[in-house]
Structure 1
Amino acid sequence: MTASLAFSILTYLLALGLGGFAVIHYARKRKPVLRSLGLTLNRWLPIDIAVGLAITFVAIGLVFVVELLLGVVAVQPGTLTWSSFASEVLVPLIQAAALEEFLFRVLLLSGVAILLSRLTHGRWIAVLLTAALFGAGHLGNDGATAVSAFGTGLGGVIYAVAFLATRSVWLPFGLHLGWNMAQGLFGFPISGNIVPGWFSTASTGPELLNGGAYGPEGGIPGMLARVLIIAMVFAYVKTRWPDGSIATLRFAPAPEKRSAVLQPTT
């Protein structure tokens, strides 16, 4: 067993354990468990996913243009066809984003946020801790380096902030899916993996500028794009909840207790 595989297994076990702790905590507090875990079904679901997709496609589009202007990638026509889009791009990327969001945000982040809830900046500490695990968990991918792990960790920050701010998994899912899909369609590697895209890119410059075989997360333009995404996420949630606080990462109201929901109105 490789070190990266062992680390991934331990991380998944930790996520399951902390997720189970979160379920027990919410049940004992008589809070709606699924909604407290961010598994909400409401009118904002399609909007959050669409916003996440739009934000990340804009960001990756900017990375594509910047790296072209810097001359650090060579671009050729891609191999994507309509017949291959669903089976080779859409379905695998949906599955990957859904699995990672469930493990790292719904389970792991929920548990860590509860454990650190009494600290003044506990939610931010939870974001950083789980983001670090998210980045380290990709070190076994093709082309991964310490720099790419940091860039991937920034992605973990994005998804964790979106999850805690909205108290829902759908915005981080849309952001995660959109980042991966946009990379693939613009011809970039997706954390070391290749899918058919509109374009096919090849590295012609320093990895610090294009991320090399790993993808944009390992390069400076990609990392700056992730910082831009964080800013756009805050702009979005601040629009929905103007009284929300970036300092405490509290925007969406907490789900009501079951007893409060079941009380008849008078």
Structure 2
Amino acid sequence: MKIGIGLAKTTMIVIIAYVLILIVLGISYHFVQLLGISMSMTSSGIVQTVPFIIITWFIWKYIGYKKWSIGFKEKYWKKELCIGLIVGFCLMSLIVLLILTADDVSIRYYMVNKEVLLSLVPLFFLFLMVGFSEELFSRGLIMGAAKYYAGKWFAIAFSAIGFSLLHAGNNHFSFGLPFINLILAGLMFALFREWRGSIWLAVGLHITWNFFQGPVYGFRVSGISLPSIITIDYMSYGSPYINGGEFGPEGSMITSVILVSVSCYLLYKLVQKES
């Protein structure tokens, strides 16, 4: 009964938040068109993150402020953020290394010069905003509300599924490995939040996971193609189940194994923490 009521209340909060976000986004783009402003993919992506941050904060402030934590209360948040940045880099580097070892992709060429490095600055800021806004929404608002209304384990599962569905509109998304891996990624982020007590490690991990996956290593990020330092070729005999295909590494079974392994470790640490 508690989980059913908790599901209904949390779902209602998510629906209200998402509808408000869509309304604000629609109004924003309408004004951009009226003013005749041309926006790049990067600037458009950054603009999309702003309503997520504002609406999430607004709903929590007026509905959940005295009920649940949004995950900001962390004395050592800078340390947690830095740990997350390192973990995200290490995990994505491991996944890419394993895909390369499987000989499913090859590096065509790479380019490192002043112009390329400068072009990475707005992309890093984009993924900084994406990582922060998605974690604030998924692990702050959704997970916080779900935990308050229905308990910790329901919150972890609910936020993971919600996180995956948040990407359902992305190019080349399917309800196969991309859907499953995004649930597993959401599960990993949620377990990090529960174990560490705040969203900051998950935010850092999310930022470098995306940034190194796309602008550095040259893969698609959740189906989105971006300029990158490294340009890769998919081998003609390669399998999308290994290299992720058009969705990127988040559509790869290698990523599935890594995410399950990390999540099992985090479950162990969480149980150990509570015992």
Give SS of 2:220's match. coil
Does residue 202 (structure 1) correspond to residue 233 (structure 2)? The answer is yes
Q: CA deviation at 1:174?
A: 0.9
Of 78, 81, 84, which residue of structure 2 is paired with 1:52?
84
Instruction: Give the aligned CA root-mean-square deviation in angstroms.
Output: 3.0
Show the counterpart of 1:258.
Answer: none
Q: CA deviation at 1:194?
A: 2.4
For structure 1, which runs of at least 5 residues remain unmatched after alignment? 1-7, 118-122, 247-266
Given that 1:18 and 1:112 are in contact with CA atoms closer than 8 Å, whether structure 2 keeps it comes out as no
Given that 2:111 and 2:230 are in contact with CA atoms closer than 8 Å, whether structure 1 keeps it comes out as yes
Distance 1:10 1:214 in 2: 29
Matches within 5 A, 1:1-266: 12-13=18-19, 20=59, 24=63, 26-27=65-66, 36-40=69-73, 42=75, 44-79=76-111, 81-87=116-122, 89-117=123-151, 123-146=152-175, 147-184=177-214, 185-204=216-235, 205-231=238-264, 233=266, 238=269, 244-245=273-274
Distance 2:85 2:266 in 1: 12
For structure 2, which runs of at least 5 residues remain unmatched after alignment? 1-13, 21-51
Q: CA deviation at 1:222?
A: 1.2
Distance 1:131 1:77 in 2: 36
Given that 2:195 and 2:266 are in contact with CA atoms closer than 8 Å, whether structure 1 keeps it comes out as no
Give SS of 2:129's match. helix
Give SS of 1:244's match. helix
Change (3 A) 1:169 1:233: same
Given that 1:67 and 1:73 are in contact with CA atoms closer than 8 Å, whether structure 2 keeps it comes out as yes
Aligned residue pairs total: 222
Structure whose residues are more often helix by fraction: 2
